[in-house]
Amino acid sequence: MEQRKKANHAVADECVDLAMRKIKVLKAKSIDFEEYPRARTLYAAPDYLKEKFAAPLAIPLLGIDPEKNFGALREVIDGKRILLVGGGRSLGDVTSSRLFAPKALVNVDPFLPQESIERTSAKDYYKSMPLHIDPTKRDFITEMHSQGCEIFDEIWVTFSIPHYCKTAEEIEVFFKNMYEMLAPGGYIRIYPMGFFTENLTEEEVSERAYELEPGLLSALDRLAEKDDI
């Protein structure tokens, strides 16, 4: 048990180091949905999306190359309860396909101004949460339960955490929330691990990241101490 926790802490340190080495300023004028590409796909990006650095997420997020092992991709999805954090309008290739059958696919994105009608009406397993439900807030679990959501087998966090967190506390609360919503044997997958922010100089961004670093380290270290992680 102690050896596993030691290994967990080593991975936590690696994640924090990675985040601190990936500090970027968003080109968008603000954290505005319409100004930032969010139509990401999981396995089959159209050519026009590839030009917007929106290559399929399966490889970096899941470690699966869909062209070489499509069956593995289906195993991760089919029959699973999946929570998307910061999912935007992503995964349209999954919801528009008859090849996948997740038990539930729930999107939580406070920056999503309007959901795609095509996506919400096409599949009975897909649901988008109201905008006021924020995974970095302490009432997140209560709000999710009020929407009929309990636990998830897979939690996919894309281009959102710790990116949009404004305080170290928000990062800690987020990871606490994710742990409580994760089913036994489940996975939390985060991509990429870095700090993005808007309207700041490179120096100011670095200062912001160093303010947030303790929250990320504390959150991951707490997870590392869990007996079931």
- Over the stretch 13-57, which tens digit does the pLDDT of each residue have? 999 998 888 776 655 444 454 545 556 789 986 665 555 555 789
CA distances from 139 to 73, 104, 136, 146 (A): 33, 22, 9, 11
Residue 67 has pLDDT above 50, yes or no: yes
d(CA 55, CA 53): 6
Neighbours of 184 (CB within 10 A): 7
Output the average pLDDT for the chain: 85
**Beta carbons of 99 and 78 less than 8 angstroms apart:** no
- Strand pairing category for 81-85 and 23-25: unpaired
Task: Give the three-state DSSP class for 148.
Answer: coil
CA distances from 85 to 29, 79, 111, 154, 177 (A): 22, 19, 11, 11, 12
- 38-65 per-residue burial string, b: 16 or more CB within 10 A, e: under 16: bbbbbbebeeebeeeebebbbbebbebe
**Beta carbons of 205 and 23 less than 8 angstroms apart:** yes
Average pLDDT over residues 104-132: 79
Tokens read off for 48: 């026009």
Residue 193 has pLDDT above 70, yes or no: yes
26-201 under CATH 3.30.70, yes or no: no
**The model's pTM:** 0.87
DSSP state of 20: H
Residue 170 has pLDDT above 90, yes or no: yes
Phi, psi of 62 (to 5 degrees): -110, -15
**Beta carbons of 177 and 141 less than 8 angstroms apart:** yes
d(CA 109, CA 219): 21
Contacts of 102 (CB under 8 A, 6+ apart): 77, 78, 79, 80, 81, 82, 94, 125
Give the pLDDT band of residue 171 (cuts 50, 70, 90).
very high
pLDDT of residue 30: 47
pLDDT of residue 185: 94
Neighbours of 213 (CB within 10 A): 18
pLDDT of residue 51: 54
